[in-house]
Amino acid sequence: MRFFNLGYLLIIYITLTASMCGGSEDSDKAPTRSSLKIALVDSLSVDDEDDERHLTEDMRTLCDVIVSDSKDCNRTFILDPTITRLDLEKDLSLKTTIEKGGSKDVSNPKVIGRLIKKNLEELNVPKEFTKASTNRNAAQILVNFITTKASKDSILVFSVDGSLDTYLLNDKTYKVFTSIDDIRSKIQSTLCQNPKSSITLLINPPSSAPRSPLILNVSGLDCKTRKLSIRTLGGDGSPISYSAKGLSEGQSSSEFTLSANQLSGTQFTFVAKQGSSISTVKYTTICSIAPPPVKGRKGPSDNGDLTIVKGSEGCDICTRYYSATDNLGRVRQVTQRNSTECCPCGKTIEMRGRTYRMECNEGGRNRLVIAE
């Protein structure tokens, strides 16, 4: 059976005020009674039987006695629930008067449990608590309630359909529970640590503000440091996991370090995951990578000797060209007219319908002259 119909909002506010008496050992103590406030801003889901409205099985389970028999916490907790319609400003007490239940052994958890179950099963919920709300400002009602009534509470969130992993409320992110047993275990753990704790449980709460879609973009790639950064826009403010095949399977940082052979022409698909929201973006690296220089081959430059890039040399008739790096690491394109490496001294060539000969002199002032 579902806890509540989808679309309903249930906020369960548990104010735990303990009164313990007798005994020096936990096992000797009387049950700890704690007030449980169930606050709604919309209709309560119930089981209709004839003209009566009864609490659902999951609601009764939530309100049942909590028994802890661990070594560090051996005690019984009784929750005294009160349903509150925040939009109507009306309360409905579900408290079971254990001491007047006709049993002499009111410290026995099984006896207490039977009395509570009987009371909750027989309870007839007033019709006004099941009517849909006409208030369109449920999110603001919730924010006001948390801010003014539960600012110091431990907040728990429950999702009926399990569609959320985390929930953002008042700039704080909360884990979302998906089972009543897990909620009761969390309540028990909290009570054992501090019987005076206050807990607020939100079930399928509305967003306190419209959520924008999660958008992923690449900020840029630093070719020198090989650092690539991505950024997100929108989302719900909860933690984001980033991944990219070949780089990382999942990390909290939005910065990736590429290897040298990934800097040019490598395509990545970056993925950002936030709860159930996933955004992807493709990016191809475009860094310019200079081929390894040919050692020992130099050329003149204003910034020192040039190291010729292997495979970049060529001739255009008698003009030599090549790529080279200077002592600052910059790649330059170099041309040398009347180069003897392209046209040796005395060689004749045909150019524009005429015959030329490479004439060389000792000063290195080579030139092409018309051959006679």
Neighbours of 242 (CB within 10 A): 20
Residues 228 and 132 in one domain: no
Q: CB under 8 Å to 56, separation ≥6 — which residues?
A: 1, 2, 3, 4, 45, 46, 47
Residue pair 3/47 in contact by the 8 Å Cβ criterion: no
Residues 59 and 164 in one domain: yes
Q: Determine, yes or no, domain membership for 198.
A: yes
Residues 43 and 170 in one domain: yes
- List % helix, strand, coil for the chain (3-state, nearest 5): 15, 40, 40
The string of DSSP codes covering 51-119 is TEEEE-HHHHHHHS-EEEESSS-EEEEEEEEEEEETTTTEEEE----GGGSS-S-TT-HHHHHHHHHHH
Predicted local confidence at residue 107, as pLDDT: 64
* Cα 77 from Cα 32, distance rounded (Å): 5
Q: CB under 8 Å to 168, separation ≥6 — which residues?
A: 174, 207, 208, 236, 237, 238
* pLDDT of the chain, 372 residues: tens digit per residue: 445 544 445 555 555 444 433 333 444 567 888 777 787 877 888 899 888 999 999 888 988 888 888 888 988 888 878 888 878 888 888 887 665 444 455 567 777 788 888 888 988 999 998 888 887 777 778 878 878 887 788 888 888 777 778 887 776 788 889 898 998 999 899 889 888 888 788 877 776 544 567 888 898 888 889 999 998 887 766 789 999 988 988 999 999 999 888 888 899 999 999 887 899 999 998 886 544 444 444 444 444 566 776 666 777 777 777 777 766 667 677 777 777 777 777 777 776 667 777 777 655 677 777 776
Q: Determine, yes or no, domain membership for 4.
A: no
Residues 304 and 219 in one domain: no
Neighbours of 89 (CB within 10 A): 7
Q: Determine, yes or no, domain membership for 5.
A: no
Residues 309 and 181 in one domain: no
Residues 72 and 118 in one domain: yes
Q: Determine, yes or no, domain membership for 129.
A: yes
* Cα 190 from Cα 154, distance rounded (Å): 9
Q: Determine, yes or no, domain membership for 3.
A: no
Among residues 286, 302, 318, the one where a domain terminates is 286
Residues 20 and 153 in one domain: yes
Residue whose pair of structure tokens reads 């989302």 in the numeric block? 235
Predicted local confidence at residue 363, as pLDDT: 58
Predicted local confidence at residue 305, as pLDDT: 63
Predicted local confidence at residue 298, as pLDDT: 47
The pTM of this model reads 0.49
Residue whose pair of structure tokens reads 């992110």 in the numeric block? 173
* Domain that residue 345 falls in: 293-370
Residues 238 and 331 in one domain: no
228: tokens are: 């690539």
The string of DSSP codes covering 221-243 is EETTTTEEEEEEEEE-SS--EEE
User: Residue 189 carries which DSSP code?
Assistant: H
Residues 339 and 301 in one domain: yes
Residues 125 and 142 in one domain: yes
Predicted local confidence at residue 238, as pLDDT: 76
Q: Determine, yes or no, domain membership for 1.
A: no
User: Residue 327 carries which DSSP code?
Assistant: T
User: Residue 280 carries which DSSP code?
Assistant: E
Inter-CA distances, 317 with 91, 241, 310, 313, 345, Å? 99, 59, 20, 13, 14
Predicted local confidence at residue 272, as pLDDT: 93
Among residues 250, 269, 286, the one where a domain terminates is 286
Predicted local confidence at residue 18, as pLDDT: 41
Inter-CA distances, 253 with 230, 242, 280, 366, Å? 9, 7, 16, 61
Predicted local confidence at residue 343, as pLDDT: 77
Query: How far, in whole angstroms, is CA 190 from its chain's centroid?
Result: 26
Among residues 222, 253, 286, the one where a domain terminates is 286
Residues 305 and 335 in one domain: yes
* Cα 366 from Cα 75, distance rounded (Å): 104
Q: Please count the structural domains in the chain.
A: 3
Q: Determine, yes or no, domain membership for 276.
A: yes
Q: Determine, yes or no, domain membership for 58.
A: yes
Q: What is the largest CA-CA distance in the chain?
A: 135
Domain of residue 246, CATH code: 2.60.40
User: Residue 180 carries which DSSP code?
Assistant: H
Residue whose pair of structure tokens reads 């003149």 in the numeric block? 300
Counts for the chain of helices (H) and strands (E), in that order: 4, 26
Residues 92 and 110 in one domain: yes
